[in-house]
Structure 1
């Protein structure tokens, strides 16, 4: 009897452990069609299917076949729905729904207006989970159609522009390309009377660094045909600014190299950190960094000992680049012992990895990692490690929440100790209530905030909804969504930020850095929106979701632009949000889960 009881207890424990690791929902795919905020219940299938829309021809006429590949490893694919987005439309329209593989659809384009169309496929599995493919574009041309070639979001110097006329037959026509200041509708010719292959160069050097609209115009007999307008093309002929941070001297072992870079218009695309032996004119790359902070770790043992110069090269999205003033006469000397503490991150929660890089000609006996409360000089050992890689796992919940510094102490084969520089500004935050994920859903044109779009904030447990906004029960609540250009907040062109407001009361959801360029330079836009609460399951615990759906533009509609880059949003929750016991939420940033996408 005791043996059977023990066996049942063991089995229950195993099931509980396995169950605790299962997510209550998946953020691994873009789910534009899922709008329900009802509580998620247990199912045999926990993840959405995978769907890819096959690329159609660039120009579509008459009836075309759309095809998609869709798979689901658990319950199988139930349906694949094909949708299209007409030029200027704010919502998708269904073409058809396929119920068996191979998933395909016949699309009659004849009744449609000519122009550039969006296409996508949404797969739904037998458990009810949905996933939407990346949106593709193609031109429907059943009549005479003028098409402007693709134009980059940001241009500089003298970019090449192109255009085409479809279905003109043998009729003669003239073709030109024009530009206007964004939304001004005052057009100036760039090139006229174009000849095949209908391309020309646009000299942007005399223009202000700003947003412009472009279009192609064809004159066919007595008729004039216009292409769709390429909106908000940023002319950026101003180079970024950059300065190399002094790495110090002497340099030994693994060190951090860093630069400070900024750009007033299109934003920094990448920073390259470089080195050269002192006196040599040829620089080589240390590393390439695509996001701030513009820094990397580099093992100086890869360089011969000697004197070196270091510099950084910043390139913005438009292609302008700037080389920093070199930092010269910095000595690399790896004869001495060297130790450096790796940066464990700004916010530390739960069990974190602490590590250090160490080297010594006399051999490394051990490396001890220590902590100290920021602002004090009292160091406490966390762990010691005698083998590379030097480090350990540390349970941050063993200390009180607050700011901490970390350092490493190397003991070499001769008994000599070497202490690293301290890395500081690390916040231990084991607050129970915290953000879990943030996701956006697209209900209109890809890459542009429009009515029908929504954003969902997911916490790791239940929230007292009246702490989000006074008196709220989770029922639909009218709110305002504010979108600010990143330049207004010192975050650069790709740091556009979204927050939620309510007339007469605060909305304590914090802010979301969209990490993309949805708003024109130094502008703001607002949407009237509806906020509602729901529940989901996170790691086996019932948790609160807050979904904010955009209804219509409140102000600044002309300040919106279409983003084309994919990025993960970062949500900074508000500490004013409380759990059911009255504990404040953590303000630790939450990075959007799932693959990179354009979000809206």
Structure 2
């Protein structure tokens, strides 16, 4: 350094001015590094150039700046880095020296950060008037997309169906905040141009709700969907069997059809009731296609009038009740027989139950008597039902009023026995007539039977009379209600003399009388001519 002293004296009081010039071995602009006045500061600032800056290591929590000296002007002794956007921070980091690096440890993540880099001279409060500027897109630390859930009210049933309007609520959550949620209800893929979710919305018919959310970090969630199933339409159901007003019994198959255009038929419940009583469930079934059927065991139910109906329920819970079907239950059997019959002629006894029954079972027929001559009626031992009816061939042998009863074994019916009304059996065609001796007048020691009479008369007795009833009988010994003419031929066994008399029967009988005359022992035979010839002897002893 050189110093020159200059002396200048003035003429006023010997006063003078001493000027000392200092020469420094530094550039002239160095003298501007110390602020001495507004003019010199402005000149100094104007000489600072714009530094060079490069960024690296950009991340959610850091941005590194590498600063180099300006191409012109004085060399800075340091640098100040300020953030100007999105939020202003005067000094995020500083660099010491003509060049170097520093790091912003708290950038605004997920946004574009703008920085200004100022050159600084040591000991000066002034910085370069024109900073270097740079902008970097700082990624967000949140790389996880938001999660959106969907719910509906009311909740669907177990099958996933509703039968009324549904309110859908979308709820999104994210660590960095949800920017928005978008959705569609027609099944199409939603975009940020789709309907933006602002609150619960109503769905009135079946739809697929597709939706997604985006967070403030720019993460976009994968598309999600919610199937809303709504069925307001009731199903249809019809009972097709058994036929209305039919007679049923045993195990009855109840069947029909059911259909639903929405959610489909889930179940069919079949019900019955006796008369106007309460409905009770007899079975529940799931249709196969449109057809359904169930069994109705009726053996334990009383005979009478019943009704059937079916209740169909679809998957959404809508129900429909079919029209009722009236039926008559008959789980007992009845016996019918003709009111009149003829001995020796078969007649038909009919057993009846519900039309669908068939089978063969042992039977016992009762109520028919044996004939007067000891013949037994002809009775069956089994009955074969076809479509609910069995016929028995029965041959009576005894006349008179009789009640036919039938006991049935092994049939799945409510009763095991039944009776018909009284049947009046009349005798068959008369085949024989007899004399039934009624009395022998004046006789002593008379011994008579239905076919003969022996009389012992006392000493001195002469004529004697005897009376009898002529009776017609059928083959089984039943009195035949005949009106035929009967011929009686009397033969004196001592003289072989004969005499013939005719008698007209009234209701199968006629009165007959004879008088025996003379003395001594008399033995005569009386022959009845009526179909089969009968000899009835009358012996009189004196």
TM over 0.5: no
TM-score when scaled to structure 2?
0.31
Report the structure, 1 or 2, having the larger strand content. Answer: 2
Highest RCO, 1 vs 2 (Cα 8 Å, sep ≥ 6): 1
TM-score when scaled to structure 1?
0.28
